[in-house]
Amino acid sequence: MFKKLTQFWSAIRQLSGDDAYERYLQHHAEHHVETPPLTREAFFKQWQDGKWTGVKRCC
């Protein structure tokens, strides 16, 4: 039961983008160790701008 709730919570976090920075850090650590990662604020700025370029919502 508790495990299910944790899974549900992490799904919500992922869906909403709440954990986007943590995922970015993980991706960064795996693929781009040579450069320092962006700060949370800088990352979020970039992430949000990227998210809203193009057709993202429908009728």
Tell me whether residue 41 is exposed, middle or buried, using C-beta atoms within 10 angstroms of its C-beta: 0 to 12, 13 to 18, 19 or more.
exposed
The correct pick among 1, 5, 15, 33 for binding other proteins (CB under 8 A) is 15
> 14: which 2 tokens?
């992922």
Residues 17-36 that bind other proteins (CB under 8 A): 17-18, 20-21, 23-24, 27-28, 31
Cα gap 9→57, rounded to integer Å: 24
Residue 49 found at the interface with other proteins (CB under 8 A): yes
As given in the structure block, the two tokens for residue 17 are 């983008």
The answer to the question of residue 12 lying near other proteins (CB under 8 A) is yes
Interface ranges with other proteins (CB under 8 A): 11-18, 20-21, 23-24, 27-28, 31, 40-41, 43-45, 47-59
